[in-house]
Amino acid sequence: MQTQFSIGLQLLLPKTLHHSPARVLSIGCGSMAIECAALIKHLGSNNFIYTGIDILPPPEDLADYPLFNVNASYIQADATNLRCLEEDHQLRPNTFDLVILRHPNFIDESEMTFKKILRSTIPYFLITGGALLVSVYDDAETIFFGKEERFSANSYFINKLYQKNGECHDNEKDNILGKIAASDRWMFCFINKFNKSQLTIRDYEINNLVPEAIPHLERIVTGLGGHFINSHQFKCAEEYALDTDPVIRSYGDIRLITSASTPSYFLANDSAVLSLISTIKRELLPFKQEATKPFFKAFDNGQYNRALRIACTSNTQAATSIVSVLIRYIDPLGLNPNESAGNPLRNAFDLAEEKNRHIYTLLSRVWSDDRKNIVAVKMPKP
């Protein structure tokens, strides 16, 4: 019997892939059986080499799952640790034709892990022109993949990396197989625009920059893996073509400086990210007290949207001050007050409206208070 994943894969995936046999990487692979069965239907059992990565050890009964005599391997590893995947498991950048990401969880504990996988791991190993196939649990998580009514800063970065291949596929809406494998309801396919292991960093110059736009432009550049040299110059990958992007150019006259390009190793920006997080923590430190322990626990674990929701449940000055710090770092932290919409946890807007009107006012100033259009200020739709 076909699963929803199998049918979605056949509808969305390009008919041909670059290599033969195709090289397939699955992140968060679990037992691997459902994916291997779907790939056999689409490609044939001898036409792909499958590598599965999961943070958990392989299931004890993995040998009982029918893998149909395909060339498949299981790697227990952290998918965000590129150096470990290369050195310990011999995975090579710019190698895979297809990456499968089933059931990424962008809420709470796994939030930053999966965002890093999407922005870093996948485009590092996926060849230019390779396919990314994503399935998600619920509608709240489709915000990250640029559905028309769910545009956000996160989907802005995804659109920089990937070209959508067809429209979002809704298995349940199309009445496919009823409730079977309901966790594969929303499925997306993207084509990788460029491989990140081969990026070159170039200098950009900004003239006639609107002063109020500097902090937000810094967040965009940092989110794309670049960094500012001063208020009028920054470095970023040439492949993003920021000098022609209408969103970026809305801040001023931005041009690419014709200096020699510099080879870039993608992990080089990790230190800049850690430095930024340390800066934010120092700004939050004055508000660390017994009552705010749950917030700091979530923040220290990288659960930034969960931390925002926790702050929104408190009607204290400390909570208001915390949120005033967080909203200055919208894009690097991937904040979106609409997350958990439709979830029993509820979203930050709902919690703030009920518990802390001061925070609700702060959020409303930064985001359009519209449950269907959460757009960061000065972040027009590309």
pLDDT tens, residue by residue, 353-368: 889 989 988 888 776 5
Residues 165 and 16 in one domain: yes
315 and 210, same structural domain?
no
Bridge partners of 273, per DSSP, are: none
Establish if 371 belongs to a structural domain.
no
Helices H, strands E: what count in the chain? 15, 13
Question: Hey, how many other C-beta atoms are within 10 angstroms of the C-beta on 215?
Answer: 13
**Are residues 38 and 115 located together in one domain of the fold?**
yes
Q: Residue type at 58?
A: P
More confident site: 105 or 121:
121
Residue 236 covered by a domain: yes
Q: How far is CA 3 from CA 24, 30, 37, 138, in A?
A: 19, 16, 9, 17
Same domain, 165 and 237: no
Q: Is 331 exposed, middle or buried (0-12, 13-18, 19+ CB in 10 A)?
A: buried
The mean pLDDT of the chain is 78
DSSP 108: G
Residues 60 and 94 in one domain: yes
The answer as to whether 270 is a domain residue is: no
| Residues 6+ positions from 159 with CB-CB distance below 8 Å | 146, 382
In a domain, residue 281? The reply is no
Per the CB < 8 A criterion, the answer to whether 352 and 367 are in contact is no
Q: Are 183 and 224 contained in the same domain?
A: no
- 252 shares a domain with 222: yes
Q: What's residue 346's pLDDT?
A: 75
As a whole number of angstroms, the distance between CA 306 and CA 87 comes to 33
Residue 128 domain boundaries: 4-197
Residue 274 belongs to some domain of the structure: no
Whether residues 155 and 225 share a domain: the answer is no
Task: Compute the CA torsion angle 350, 372, 306, 340 (nearest 10 deg).
Answer: 80
User: pLDDT tens digits, residue range 294-338?
Assistant: 999 989 887 888 899 999 999 999 999 999 999 888 766 777 787
Class of residue 286 by CB neighbours under 10 A (exposed 0-12, middle 13-18, buried 19+): exposed
- Same domain for 161 and 232: no
Instruction: Find the helix or strand (DSSP H, E) in which 283 lies.
Output: helix 270-284
Q: How many structural domains are present in the chain?
A: 3
56 and 178 fall within a common domain: yes
93 shares its domain with 185: yes
The structure's pTM equals 0.69
Q: Give the pLDDT of residue 272.
A: 60
Within this chain, do residues 175 and 209 fall inside the same structural domain, yes or no? no
Helix, strand, coil abundance in the chain, percent, nearest 5: 45, 20, 35
